[in-house]
């Protein structure tokens, strides 16, 4: 008997037929004498629809009420999943985040899971039930409902697997594993049988849509056996694990289209100015990714950095409001850009990876706007109109 946590994403639950298929997977694991915890996302684009409804009311809705609203997507899913399982003759019970003991901090919309009190889940498992838990949500110390960030159901699943010391955590999705690039865009992408946590984390953080990056981080920290599988094709999928024997120099190419560039011109070139700028951004909880600062010309310098698109308005508002304090001349933005990254754990010991990437971009006629590197990653920012061409060219250079 094993304890299995299995998570079904929105696309695997989008209609009654798909819901039945997902329930069938859980039912068959249950019938093999396993204990099964099912984590569900909202069906299809239910979360997007809920967000659109809130936005129709006004831009600055209360984060607390937003979480109450968004958590209903998963709540509907979990009830339907439990009904479906029961209809198949499998005893099942659904639990919201708070009922499942998922305690988070109070940051609505981006809450972090602090701890999980597994008593209720254990008690239900002991009663031989499949436990269906709503992903993406928890409860704040105040007792209010929180959500943990878009795509967060993966993180719920891994957190539950860690807390319950599950034997495996399976993430069911609409692709049959982790590919060298999004197989929905790059037709000749290759599937990996295994990938290590660090590579997976970089790929997820750089915009590969397959796993929520915090779920990978947590899986690594707690040594959770993580598998990505298709809910439609029966196959082995991809295992995410600590060490992969053969380090590839490049294991994947990711594209992040949720990027905007901000350039500040005429920033006074003096100690402390950059610190003031970035601490102001941090205070506003604006996540800065790539930073580029050319050498100063005279007394003034410029700086370019990237932020997620949804933070752009907020960032510009803040910057304009503190123009005199930060002492700069002008600010300009460009949200028609994207980031293309290559990731590979073997990159550090392989020469020429960067030049191969840049050559591929050059041959495709793509201009590189900014570059940033880490030990296992190289990212470039390119214009949106070069996005597809650049993505394909970089993938073709390595696969
Ligand atoms: N339903 C949430 C979202 O769309 C959480 C998830 O699917 O993981 O972001
Ligand atoms: Mg997802």
- CA-nearest residue, atom 6 of ligand 1: 151
Same domain for 296 and 259: yes
pLDDT digits (tens, 9 = 90+) for 229-259: 999 998 889 999 987 666 778 999 999 999 9
| CATH number for 95 | 3.40.1160.10
Same domain for 258 and 240: no
- 209 C-alpha to ligand 1 centroid (Å): 12
Of the candidates 151, 143, 45, 165, the one whose C-alpha atom is nearest the C-alpha of residue 97 is 143
Q: Is the CB of 151 under 6 A from ligand 1?
A: yes
Q: Is the CB of 152 under 6 A from ligand 1?
A: yes
Considering 244, 261, 281, which residue would you say is the last residue of a domain? 244
Note down the domain range covering 109.
Answer: 3-244
Q: Compute the distance between CA of residue 174 and CA of residue 160 in angstroms, rounded to an integer.
A: 22
pLDDT: which is higher, 241 or 165? 165
- 80 C-alpha to ligand 2 centroid (Å): 19
For a pocket test of ligand 1, which of 9, 12, 41 has the largest count of ligand atoms closer than 8 A to its C-beta? 41
pLDDT above 90 for 354: yes
pLDDT above 70 for 394: yes
Q: Is the CB of 44 under 6 A from ligand 1?
A: no
Strands 92-95 and 130-134: parallel
Q: Is the CB of 155 under 6 A from ligand 1?
A: no
Same domain for 343 and 231: no
Q: Mutual orientation of helices 387-398 and 353-363 as an angle, nearest 10°?
A: 140
The upper half-sphere exposure of residue 296, i.e. CA atoms within 13 Å in the direction of its Cβ, equals: 12
- 201 C-alpha to ligand 2 centroid (Å): 14
Q: Lowest mean pLDDT: which of 160-164, 269-273, 277-281, 376-380?
A: 269-273
pLDDT on residue 245: 67
Same domain for 173 and 44: yes
| CATH number for 300 | 3.30.2130.10
Domain count, the chain: 2
Same domain for 191 and 132: yes
Of the candidates 282, 330, 274, the one whose C-alpha atom is nearest the C-alpha of residue 307 is 282
Measured from the alpha carbon of residue 153, the closest ligand is: 1
Same domain for 341 and 255: yes
Same domain for 251 and 223: no
Same domain for 239 and 252: no
Q: Report the pLDDT averaged over residues 308-332.
A: 92
Of the candidates 25, 37, 81, 42, the one whose C-alpha atom is nearest the C-alpha of residue 169 is 37
pLDDT on residue 21: 98
Q: Is the CB of 10 under 6 A from ligand 1?
A: yes
Q: Compute the distance between CA of residue 161 and CA of residue 155 in angstroms, rounded to an integer.
A: 10
pLDDT digits (tens, 9 = 90+) for 71-116: 999 999 999 999 999 999 999 999 999 999 999 999 999 999 999 9
Same domain for 251 and 195: no
Measured from the alpha carbon of residue 151, the closest ligand is: 1
pLDDT digits (tens, 9 = 90+) for 143-156: 999 999 999 999 99
Considering 186, 215, 244, which residue would you say is the last residue of a domain? 244
Considering 244, 266, 289, which residue would you say is the last residue of a domain? 244
pLDDT on residue 211: 94
Same domain for 382 and 307: yes
Q: Report the pLDDT averaged over residues 337-351.
A: 90
């Amino acid at each position: 008997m094993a304890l299995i946590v299995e998570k079904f994403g929105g696309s695997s639950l989008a209609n009654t037929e798909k819901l039945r298929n997902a329930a069938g997977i859980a039912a068959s694991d249950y019938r093999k004498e396993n204990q099964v915890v099912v984590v569900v996302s909202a069906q299809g684009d239910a979360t997007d629809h809920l967000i659109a409804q809130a936005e129709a009311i006004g831009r600055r809705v209360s984060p607390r009420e937003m979480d109450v609203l968004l958590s209903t997507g998963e709540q509907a899913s979990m009830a339907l999943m439990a009904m479906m399982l029961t209809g198949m003759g499998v005893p099942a019970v659904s639990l919201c985040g708070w009922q499942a003991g998922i305690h988070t901090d109070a940051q609505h919309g981006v809450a972090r899971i602090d701890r999980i009190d597994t008593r209720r889940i254990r008690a239900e498992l002991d009663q031989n039930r499949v436990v269906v838990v709503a992903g993406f949500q928890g409860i704040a110390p105040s007792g209010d409902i929180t959500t943990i960030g878009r795509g967060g159901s993966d993180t719920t699943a891994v957190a539950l697997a860690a807390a319950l010391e599950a034997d495996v955590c399976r993430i069911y999705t609409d692709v049959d594993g982790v590919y060298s690039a999004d197989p929905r865009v790059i037709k000749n992408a290759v599937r990996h049988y295994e990938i290590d946590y660090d590579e997976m984390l970089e790929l997820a953080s750089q915009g590969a849509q397959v796993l929520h990056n915090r779920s990978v981080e947590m899986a690594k920290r707690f040594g959770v056996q993580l598998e990505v599988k298709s809910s439609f094709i029966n196959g082995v999928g991809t295992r995410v694990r600590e060490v992969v024997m053969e380090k590839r120099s490049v294991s994947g190419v990711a594209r992040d289209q949720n990027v905007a560039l901000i350039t500040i011109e005429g920033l006074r070139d003096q100690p402390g100015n950059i610190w003031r700028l970035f601490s102001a951004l941090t205070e506003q909880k604006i996540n800065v990714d790539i930073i580029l600062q050319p050498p100063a010309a005279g007394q003034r310098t410029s700086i370019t950095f990237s932020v997620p698109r949804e933070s752009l308005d907020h960032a510009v508002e803040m910057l304009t409001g503190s123009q005199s304090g930060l002492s700069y001349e002008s600010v300009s933005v460009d949200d028609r850009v994207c980031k293309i990254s290559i990731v590979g754990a073997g990159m550090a010991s392989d020469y020429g990876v960067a030049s191969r990437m840049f050559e591929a971009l050059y041959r495709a006629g793509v201009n590189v706007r900014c570059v940033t590197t880490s030990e296992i990653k190289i990212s470039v920012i390119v214009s949106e109109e070069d996005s597809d061409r650049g993505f394909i060219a970089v993938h073709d250079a390595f696969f």
